[in-house]
Amino acid sequence: MIRNIGEILNNFFEQNILTYIQTLQAYPVKLISVILDLAIVIFLAYHLVKIAKGSRAWQLIKGIAFLIIAKGLSAVLNLTIVNYILSEVMNWGVILLIIIFQPEIRRALEQLGTNKFTKFFGIDNKDIITRTKEDIYKIVIAVTELAKNSTGALIVLEREIKINDIISTGIKIDSDISPQLLVNIFVPNTPLHDGAVVISNNKIAAAACMLPLASDADIAKELGTRHRAAIGISKESDSIVIVVSEETGKISVAKDGTLIADVKEEALKKILITNIINKMYNAQNNRNRIPFEKIKNKLKKEKGVNENKIEENK
């Protein structure tokens, strides 16, 4: 039996792998297509496994993998009957899979070319500035609703300086921003209401986060712990912090260690757009300006060199 296994493996190596290597040696250009082919297959396999993991399809994939391995072993060990049964099961299994997972297959085909499909490949068509502006409006809606009901809230909007150490102190959420979710988090006597919500990379990153408190000298005595925490984190980072007072229902904004008290809805929108959206516009314009400045400086240098050459010739 061991000899038969050795012969099968040897024949497989000679007929497939060795022939393939010789073809690549004769035509090295084909190596590029091989690498591209492998990269695409690995990329697709990774994303399919990522999507399937945690769903009912994951158990099915494990079962299919087991059948493939069992079929391969039965062929190597010359288990003719077992190999025949497994081959028939797999042949009919493809048809059964199509019938069982018809809704999922249909849904996947419908998503071709849609936003969901582009996100599957890590491509987001929506401009980041437009998306951030929409998120700001959602946050303002939530904060206004919390203020109407005098529900205490503390929302930290991360900017360029990352505050992962603050995020790690809370409960990870990693959810898209929605007014309903933000309002629900701060409902009194719920597990996540005490502490701060941190918004990072257009996501609600975590809730119930602990913030550093500003010293008594930095804040009026009549203001509470939420306001002290807002000033504290705004001094240690470039984050913008929104506070809703539980006692008065008034909205405050902390930025660079300064607290702007009793902010109305329109004023809140203006503050957030000015300090987040406009800054993003400026950063994007600066990135676009850098290549132009480099070209401009290069042309100046070349012009200077050419003028020197003309003077020498004279």
The encoded tokens of residue 49 equal 């496994």
pLDDT at position 245? 92
Question: Is 239 within 8 Å of 161 (Cβ atoms)?
Answer: yes
The torsion angles phi and psi of 283, rounded to 5 degrees, stand at -65, -40
Per residue in 276-290, pLDDT tens? 888 776 655 655 554
User: Between the CA of residue 106 and those of 52, 109, 110, 212, what are the distances in Å?
Assistant: 16, 5, 6, 51
Query: What does residue 11 show for φ and ψ, rounded to 5 degrees?
Result: -65, -40
pLDDT at residue number 57: 64
Q: Is the pLDDT of residue 24 over 70?
A: no
- In the chain, the amino acid numbered 120 is F
The more confident residue out of 107 and 4 is 107
295, two tokens:
């070209």
What's the whole-model pTM score?
0.58
Report how far residue 289's alpha carbon sits from residue 243's, in angstroms, rounded to the nearest whole number.
37
- Give dist(CA 201, CA 170) in Å, integer: 17
- What domains appear along the chain, each with residue ranges and CATH number? 2-120 (no CATH), 131-270 (3.40.1700.10)
The string of pLDDT tens digits covering residues 69-85 is 888 888 888 888 888 88
Dig out the tokens for 102 from the structure: 């018809």
What is the DSSP secondary-structure string of 91-153?
A: HHHHHHHHHHTHHHHHHHHHTTTSHHHHHHTT---S-HHHHHHHHHHHHHHHHHHHHHTT--E
* Token pair in block for residue 231: 């000033």
pLDDT mean over 241-255: 93
Which residue is it, tokens 């003028």? 307
